[in-house]
Structure 1
Amino acid sequence: MIRFVGAGPGAADLITVRGARLLAEADLVIYAGSLVNPELLDLTGPSCTVMDSASMTLEEVVSAMEDAEAKGWSTVRLHTGDPALYGATREQMDELDRRGIPYDVTPGVSSLFGAAAALGAEFTLPGVSQSLIVTRAEGRTPVPEGERLASMAKHGCTLALFLSAGLLSNVEADLREGGVDPSTPAAIVYKATWPDEIVLRCTAGTLARTARDAGVSKTALVLVGRFLGDEYDRSLLYHPGFSHGFRTAEKGADGALPLADASAQPSSEAGGR
């Protein structure tokens, strides 16, 4: 059995309980060595075989899985963050399907959420942005024409850019083309949740300079949007004038929903938004 496991954003204790158990039970672990925290390998048993996939091709990875399956081994394919985001897992799964090898997936905490935690930020703020676009800048690997960053930026949603820290001059140009004001708040989070995490706050128009000055060119998430600002609407969920299935509106409560001040804590729950 092949177990695709999300390693989490970096900190070893952010792997899921299930993921940690599967590592402890594994006979073979193939991990993304350039991205996964090597401390996670301490969770494996003494007889476990460990392979670093950083220098391997897809064919070599699948061949190792196939050999392990023939021996009756349990294999963990350890991917950074959550395997569903930029994990190149579909092509592995298709090859396993062709070989009749069973697999399952254990999700992980994405660096997307590790970065939000580092910033103390909420991506979906009432009255500011209720949608999050997860994408990347176009580099050597193209993106579909309808998904160019300039097109995505036109929606005015919160933007989270993976694999783009080395392309920030292009990102700035695409954001301008998409109508994003250069003064829009932005942030670059390098190695979210790792011990050497760096949080850089800037604007949409100063991304490239900020990264260059800090020496950041990879392993960073780029975030752009007014969710990083100070103003947002108070959540209805905890408003005294709002009724829902668990609470009746207070009699005589002020029905107005003023902008929260910068010290207010917005709700992190989905209802009543």
Structure 2
Amino acid sequence: MSENKLKGEVIFVGAGPGDPELITIKGSRALERADRVIYAGSLVNPDLLNLCRPGTPCHDSASLTLEEVAALMLEGTKKGETIVRLHTGDPSMYGAIKEQFDRLDQEGISYSVVPGVSSVFAAAAAVKREFTLPDISQTLILTRLAGRTPVPDREALTHLAQHQSSMAIFLSVQDMGSVVEALLEGGYPVSTPIAVVAKASWPDEEIVVGTLETIADKVNAAGIRKQAQILVGDFLDPAGGYARSKLYDPTFTHEFRQGKET
């Protein structure tokens, strides 16, 4: 048997936004059979670790470097272990997973990814809104404000705001004034509705709503400084109304139904 066949595997699992019931069945089953778990302790709900078998080693990666995380993976897979790398939300969004993949590729270690529920969708559920309303917006932009992690100039919030589509802004609530300034400079009217959802799906979830004129003061008064989604666009409050969906319009014909004139 080859060396690679003797090695274990790493499963990257999206933990969901916070509510432990929002992990996927596939993700929970991976935790149940894991020999070792490396979890993002600063964001992942620790209740999810209760899905693991008693005595399963669980390593909090909040204070670890990439090299230290990779060393734990290598140590375990050399023993034939199944390792779950538990990321918050969905690993593909701001999960820093590509650099981990590269390390595993270098070592010839097998890995797979189980997607998760992103906080952006938990936030939409919290405010009970649809990002893609007919005649309002059919585009959702997921982005962040530049900070210690830079953003390419072409993706600056001011440029993206020119589309005036539905937008969800990650990792930026700590500088709400700059977010508002960029959105206004990009072309959103000052009356544009905006919502900030802190800790979406957690027991202490908090929702602050307003307009671009009022939201910075409201967020500051609420003391929200992290773990928040910023949702902006007319989908939040389509003052001029929105078009009915074609899918369920009785006059619209599609593959599964013949439309009828009214």
Give me the TM-score of the superposition, normalised by structure 2. Answer: 0.95
1:229 pairs with 2:216: no
Q: Which letter does structure 2 place at the counterpart of 1:35?
A: L
Paired residue for 1:9?
17
Residue 102 of structure 1 corresponds to 110
SS in 1 for 2:173: coil
Letter in 1 for 2:90: D
Q: CA deviation at 1:206?
A: 2.3
Partner of 1:152: 160
If each structure's helix is expressed as a fraction of its own residues, which one has the higher value? 2
| Corresponding residue SS for 1:48 | coil
Task: Please give the residue correspondences for 1:136-147 in structure 2 after superposition, counting only pairs within 5 Å.
Answer: 136-147=144-155
Which AA in structure 2 matches 1:244? Answer: H
User: Secondary structure of the equivalent of 1:221?
Assistant: strand
What is the CA–CA distance in structure 2 between the aligned matches of 1:83 and 1:68, rounded to whole Å? 21
The yes-or-no answer on 1:123 pairing with 2:145 is: no
What secondary structure does 1:41 align onto? helix
1:43 to 44, 51, 62: 51
The Cα of 1:207 is off from its aligned counterpart by 2.5
- Cα shift readout 1:34-75 (whole Å, capped 9, x = no counterpart): 000000000000131000000000000000000000111110
Name the CA distance, whole Å, in 2 between partners of 1:16 and 1:123.
22
* Cα deviation code 1:63-111 (max 9, x no counterpart): 0000000111110000000000000001100111111111000000000
C-alpha contact (below 8 Å) 1:27/1:47 kept by paired residues: no
Q: 1:248 matched to which residue of 2? A: 258
Q: Secondary structure at the match of 2:73?
A: helix
Amino acid at match of 1:158: S
Contact 1:139 1:167 in 2 (8 A): no
Alignment match of 1:19 (pick from 11, 19, 27): 27
Q: What residue ranges of structure 1 are gaps of 5+ in the alignment?
A: 254-273
Indicate which of 18, 32, 37 corresponds to 1:29. Answer: 37
Asked if 1:76 is matched to 2:84, the reply is yes
| 1:240 maps to amino acid | P
In 1, Cα distance between the equivalents of 2:160 and 2:215?
18
For residue 109 of structure 1, what is the amino acid of its counterpart? Answer: V
Return structure 1 stretches of 4+ with deviation > 6 angstroms. none
Q: Letter of the 1:36 partner, please give it.
A: V
Candidates 177, 194, 219, aligned match of 1:169: 177
SS state of the match for residue 167, structure 1?
helix
Letter in 1 for 2:73: M
- 1:156 Cα deviation from its structure 2 partner: 1.2
Aligned match of 1:262? none
2:159 partner SS: helix
In the TM superposition, what whole-angstrom CA distance separates every residue of 1:103-156 from its partner, at most 9, and x where no partner exists? 000000000110010010000000000000000011121100100000000011
C-alpha distance in 2 between matches for 1:205 and 1:141: 27
- Which has the higher mean CA deviation after the structures are superposed, 125-134 or 94-103? 94-103
Amino acid at match of 2:58: V
What's the CA shift for 1:204?
1.9
Contact 1:31 1:51 in 2 (8 A): yes
Q: Percent of counterpart pairs with the same letter?
A: 53
CA distance in 1, matches of 2:80, 2:214: 53
Alignment-mate amino acid for residue 245 of structure 1: E
Letter in 2 for 1:24: E
